[in-house]
A and B are shown apart, each in its own frame.
Chain A
Amino acid sequence: MSGKLGLDSAVVAEARRLAAAAGQPVVDLARQHTTVSVERAVLRLAGVGGADPDGIPWVNRLVDAVREQVGLGHGVAVPVFDALRREGHADLTLLAQKAAAGSVRFEVPEKTGNVRSAARKAVRAGIARIDQRRKERDRLVRRHGDPPRTPWVYLIVATGDIYEDIPQAQAAARAGADVIAVIRSTGQSLLDYVPEGATREGFAGTYATQENFRLMRAALDDTSREVGRYVRLTNYASGLCMPEIATLAGLERLDMMLNDSMYGILFRDINPIRTFVDQRFSRQIHARAGIVINTGEDNYLTTADAVDAAHTVTVSQLLNEYFAHEAGLADWQLGLGHAFEINPDLPESFRLELAHALLARELFPDAPLKWMPPTKHMTGDVFRGNLLNGFFNLAGMLTGQGILLVGMMTEAVVTPWLSDRDIALQNVHYVRQAAGNLHEDFTPGRFIQERAATVLGEAVDLLGKIRDEGLLEAIADGTFGIMRRPADRGKGLDGVARREPGYYNPAQDILEGTT
């Protein structure tokens, strides 16, 4: 018995044990495979950048050429650095250009010692840049300071044009946002390459590119100096290019990344194996870069009922926690997600929300939970929406959430206007000022305690079922959300390869500390 909910510590331990047992086979699977995006991330760390005249990145051209000739099973590091040595090219990008033209022969040499050390040296330089970026963040946080209180206020910009996003993000930070998220263009998660350069056209969001990351981070550095606190920047790793986007985020000092273990599978129909392999590598990069991940449990509640499916959120949080720890992420880096999505017409809906939010808080006491606002029951009635957001904010304060995504009363009406953001922030500020420390006086009674225990119990039952069936089978059976996603289907499966004996990935070796 502990905390305000009096959760049974034996049940909590059982839940964690089952999550580990369910997750372990998937980790083993991830260790046995690689993907085009993992290999492209290795090349990005080794310094390959830029794109061909059609906008296809050189890392794609190079990985495709290697895959065509010798397959991916050995990793690309050895064949690429072997070809670099044999052909005597000065740099990898030149080699990529030659390879794209079909004039490079790749092979897997028998003796790989020298080639491996050349690859390791190049990749180590990339990882050293990520390390420098992390130190730089630490320095800037010391200089400008963290937000003076929690929850951190998280605001979204999404114009499609990076040069419009920048002034909006800066205005949001001046108005009190602690974290800025740049929403990606619809459909980027299904692109099997990362677009290049600064972009000015997107569909309901702005493309995640290295240059866009750099531009926004530089702008927010200026604003951090101006407002006297370090303003964090968020983007989205999930999708077919998770490892590469994670790498670019590390190289450009992003501070948070959306990175869910199952979102791509369930909501984007990305192949499950592709997702788990990519996810593991991307999280190893995030761990190294000191990036806080945000997981996507809120999405379950937008498809399923927020009361009936409350335990699926808990299950997913526990799985996300297991996969994150396995990849080297510390508790302070786990922005586990959940949301205020119970139908407001349901009697006692606010008490149920408090029970669910407090359950997450007490299950993951050291994680900066990501608290997501109502979207499903925002109807276009902006007045009621603002009231609902006030209750959402209050629940966030009462239950000690770490990151609060600011709800917009114009959700489902328009992408937020300047005034919508301002009104939404006033809502947050009012609740924080009026009730910021109310958690000290808040002691839940039986209703909330029992509800939390019920949800936890259901989560344990479901985890047991997943452990027995296997996670991949559970996903194939439609256990999460309502989607059936078999392991042999979905997008990006053709980019998965089984690792051969002698597979070499210098980045993963460095990240796992085996070299």
Chain B
Amino acid sequence: MSTVVRPYGDTTGDGMVQLSFTLPLPAGKRGEGAALQLAGKMGVDPAMVVHSRAIGEQHTFYVVYGRVNHLVEPGKVVVAERDYPLLSAKEINAAIRARLRRKLVVVGACIGTDAHTVGIDAILNVKGIAGEKGLEYYRECRVVNLGAQVSVPDLVEHARAEKADAVLVSQVVTQRDAHLHNTREMSAAFREAFPAARRPLLVVGGPRFDELMAPELGVDRIFGRGTTPREVASYLVHAVGAR
């Protein structure tokens, strides 16, 4: 493999790229010049505006083709590998069947005073988020969504009664670090209530968590902003299988 590559239009090494964007400028010569200027700053030189179209009076859409002068060095690419494979719904169901020979039981809740179920519902409800169905959609998952403002003792009790494989907790409210306190309280309660080998997987999620804080908070995994149900399900299959 060569150490350096360029984008490929129709000839090796031609460096041709195509891009499109909108500028908040009226259509016209000045706008096209501005589009070329942006392309130039992006390393596209020479660039051609092949299409421009006014969208209303204040905006113009441009399609630009041109030769990009940057080099790509594949050897230097660093990939942040996920430590578990991202599976499809079908693969997730098959993996649960193969590994557990029963349904995977997931208990979810918002704990403390947090009434924002938007996160837990996005992950658990069939409706899901961003076009991906929630865990309820997976045939091999049994989901018990306890909703909002669940106390930690209640959560432990439900997890025990349902024989939960995993407990998902969502925390949106972060005033005075409530999300961190609540998570520590929750993980301590589970540690006290279950022997280590029988404890359900503890997973928390929310927009303000640092995904690297899991050991510090005593949970198995933290998911941050933009997490999809499939990522959570893939992780659960992986982590339950590893036990």
Contacts and interface: CB of A to CB of B under 8 A. Distances in A.
A161 interface: no
A187 B125 CA distance: 10
Interface string A181-194: 00001110010000
Contacts of B55: 171, 175, 418-419, 422
Given A175-B56, A411-B131, A419 B121 contact: no
Interface in A153-190: 171, 174-175, 185-187, 190
With a 10 A CB-CB cut-off, give which of A266, A418, A481 has the most chain B CB atoms: A418
B126 interface: yes
A295 interface: no
A482 interface: yes
Given A186-B129, A376-B131, 10 more contacts: A186-B118, A186-B121, A187-B122, A267-B125, A267-B127, A269-B136, A378-B131, A422-B55, A483-B126, A491-B147
A443 interface: no
A482 B22 contact: no
A267 B129 contact: no
B163 interface: no
Given A267-B126, A418-B55, A483 B136 contact: yes
A190 B129 CA distance: 15
A430 interface: no
A171 B131 contact: no
A474 interface: no
A383 to B, nearest CB: 11
Interface residues of B, number: 25
A342 B117 CA distance: 32
Contacts, number: 60
Interface of A: 171, 174-175, 185-187, 190, 203-204, 266-269, 299, 302-303, 375-376, 378, 411-412, 417-419, 422-423, 481-483, 491
B118 A412 contact: no
Contact of B131 (A187, A266, A412, A417): A412
B133 interface: yes
A412 B132 CA distance: 9
18 contacts: A174-B56, A185-B118, A187-B117, A187-B118, A190-B117, A266-B126, A267-B125, A267-B127, A268-B127, A302-B131, A303-B126, A375-B131, A411-B131, A419-B22, A422-B53, A482-B137, A482-B139, A483-B136
A267 B133 CA distance: 10
Nearest to A187: B118
A418 B133 CA distance: 27
Interface in B131-153: 131, 133, 136-137, 139, 145, 147
B212 interface: no
Nearest to A423: B61
Contacts of A174: 56
Interface in B149-185: none
Nearest to B63: A419
B78 interface: no
A171 B22 CA distance: 15
Given A418-B22, A483-B136, A186 B122 contact: yes
Contacts of B139: 482
Interface string B1-40: 0000000000000000000111000000000000000000
B208 interface: no
B22 A269 contact: no
Contact of B133 (A171, A204, A303, A412): A303
B197 interface: no
Contacts of A422: 53, 55, 61
Given A267-B125, A412-B130, A422-B55, A203 B118 contact: yes
B149 to A, nearest CB: 13
A264 B22 CA distance: 38
Which 10 pairs, one residue from A and one from B, show the smallest C-beta to C-beta distance?
A187-B118, A412-B131, A419-B61, A267-B127, A422-B55, A419-B22, A267-B126, A203-B118, A186-B118, A171-B56
A418 B117 contact: no
B59 interface: yes
Interface string B31-54: 000000000000000000000010
A422 B117 CA distance: 34
A299 B126 CA distance: 10
Contact of A303 (B22, B137, B145): B137
B5 to A, nearest CB: 23
B23 to A, nearest CB: 10
B131 A269 contact: no
A452 B54 CA distance: 43
Nearest to B130: A412
A481 B117 contact: no
Contacts of A419: 20-22, 55, 61
B135 to A, nearest CB: 12
A482 B147 CA distance: 21
A375 B129 CA distance: 12
Nearest to A378: B131
B188 to A, nearest CB: 29
Nearest to B121: A187
Contacts of A186: 118, 121-122, 129
Nearest to A415: B130
A302 B21 CA distance: 31
A218 B139 CA distance: 46
A269 B117 contact: no
A52 to B, nearest CB: 16
Contacts of A375: 131
B113 to A, nearest CB: 12
Contacts of A482: 137, 139
Contact of A418 (B59, B125, B137): B59
Contacts of B136: 269, 483
B133 A269 contact: no
Contacts of B133: 302-303
B60 to A, nearest CB: 10
Nearest to B126: A267
A186 B117 CA distance: 10
B61 A269 contact: no
A423 B59 CA distance: 14
A382 to B, nearest CB: 10
Interface in B80-119: 116-118
Contacts of A483: 126, 136
A175 B54 CA distance: 11
Nearest to B20: A419
